[in-house]
Amino acid sequence: MRRKPRGRLFFAGPGPTNIPDSVLHATAHVTVDFNDPEFLRVFQHCVIGLTRILRTTRATELFLYTASGHGAWEATLANLLSPGDTVLMLESGYFSDAWSGMARAFGLEVQTVAADWRRGVDLGDVTAALRADRGQNIRAVCAVHNETSTGVLLPMAELRAAIDAAQHPALLLADTISSLASMDFRMDDWGVDAVVGASQKGLMLPTGFSFTAVSKKGMAAQQRAMLPRRYFDWSEMLQRTHRSFMGTVPTSFFFGLQESLRLLEEEGLENVLARHARLAEAVRRAVDAWRGNAGPEILCEDPARRSNSVTSVLLPAGHDAEAVRRTAMERFHVALGGGLGKLHRKVFRIGHLGDLNEPMVLGTLGAVEMSLRLNRVPHARGGVDAAMAFLTDGQEPG
């Protein structure tokens, strides 16, 4: 049996992500009564902090669930729609497919705006689909802001403009699970009616809680929506002290969230986003260097849509991304993300979001470059150098 590599596990998947030590310590809190006034203050502080990260000041309701992101997807569909309603799903990759599957399971009609997974949707196709819907059967447009399987970002401001151009009243539902607190997201400015988020990525927390932020228009739609729901029923939740959660509130998460929000605010959201942009570009420079000699390449073909939280790396035909991933884990103790759905074995994914800095990224890139060599995947050397050059050229030492 192979010995476990020594040294700290470098977790370089696109979520869950690394949890800062201070957040880990904060979650290790003794049990408290979730109705205790002191805990309610912590909870309220977290709700306000989350709305700041969502960049919403309007009368947005925030519903939280003890569930991973799938739970928030389900809650959002079940509260906003009725059996037989049509949703317009913007294809982006594995996660838009999975959200579609869930919508169908709930008896919704799913109309898909098809897209190449290497580029994401053409926004003109979104306007065209909405214009063609003369009976206004489409109740919601579902968009994955950052498709974690491909590393392709959907420009939300342009999506808003594309919907407005069709003068269609559909709700806009956005999944920000792998973009929130890593890339710019503006609920109010972009007129998003329901935002789905989860704990284990940019918020740097363990997996297990997720949420939906809902606009006034969304709350009005909820009054009419007829899909069955109970655990996730927002009307039930509004009756409760926390205006959220059915059942026991997972208090330890909120001690952790209080600390992760403190860290994000101490750094400043703009600086957090800039750090993600810088580290993502370093990763892209490395992959672009490896691309020489017919090597691996960035899956996303549109430079303007490249994600700052994850890069999917496409291997040359005939080479197995899982073998590279296995070597990275078994030899170097570096965990990369695997290819999902039809990308299985074709890509591996480098996550660059959350509690991350330059040496962590360079360590990961070094392990990837060595794993490419060991697996005899053609590539040009010098990916780590290219990343270091990007991170230092023209910079001051301080």
Binding-site ranges for ligand PLP (CB under 6 A): 15, 68-70, 95, 144, 148, 175, 177-178, 198
Alpha-carbon gap, residue 223 to 395, rounded angstroms: 55
**What is the C-alpha separation between 18 and 202, in angstroms, rounded?**
9
Residue (69 or 120) nearer to ligand PLP, CB: 69
For residue 15, the minimal CB distance to ligand PLP (Å) is 5
For ligand PLP, give the closer residue by CB, 200 or 251.
200
Closest separation in Å from C-beta 94 to ligand PLP: 9
3-state secondary structure of 320: coil
CB 176, CB 213: distance < 8 Å = no
Q: Kindly state the smallest distance separating residue 76's Cβ from ligand PLP, in Å.
A: 11
* DSSP string covering 211-260: EEEE-HHHHHHHHH--S--STT-HHHHHTSTTSS-SSS--HHHHHHHHHH
Two tokens, residue 274: 């800039």
Select 207 or 375, whichever has its Cβ closest to ligand PLP: 207
Of 99 and 255, nearer to ligand PLP (C-beta) is 99
Dihedrals φ, ψ of 76, to 5°?
Answer: -70, -45
Minimum CB separation from ligand PLP for residue 198, in Å? 5
Residue type, 79: N
Gap between the Cα atoms of 290 and 295, Å rounded? 6
- The CB-nearest residue to ligand PLP is 69
Contact yes or no for 211/202 (Cβ under 8 A)? no
**279 near 356, Cβ under 8 Å?**
yes
For helices 69-80 and 94-105, give the axis angle rounded to 10 degrees: 50
Q: Give the residue with the Cβ less far from ligand PLP, 140 or 144.
A: 144
* Closer residue to ligand PLP, CB minimum distance, 155 or 378: 155
Which phi-psi region, left, alpha or beta, contains residue 15 (left: φ > 0; alpha: ψ -120 to 50)? Answer: left
Q: Which is nearer to ligand PLP, 67 or 283 (CB)?
A: 67
Shortest distance, CB of residue 359 to ligand PLP, whole angstroms?
Answer: 25
SS3 content of the chain, % helix, strand, coil (to 5): 40, 15, 40
Residue 145 or 275 having the CB closest to ligand PLP? 145
Report the residue number, 198 or 272, with the smaller CB distance to ligand PLP.
Answer: 198
**What angle, rounded to 10 degrees, do the helices at 69-80 and 216-224 form?**
70
Alpha helix positions (H), the chain: 21-27, 37-53, 69-80, 94-105, 123-132, 156-165, 216-224, 234-238, 251-267, 269-290, 321-332, 358-374, 383-392
183 in Cβ contact with 146 (< 8 Å): yes
Cβ closest to ligand PLP, residue 49 vs residue 351: 351
- Whichever of 15 and 296 has its CB closer to ligand PLP, that residue is 15
DSSP annotation of 30: P
Give the separation between CA 146 and CA 159, rounded to whole angstroms: 13
Least distance from ligand PLP to the Cβ atom of residue 199, Å:
8
> CB of 280: closest distance to ligand PLP in angstroms?
16
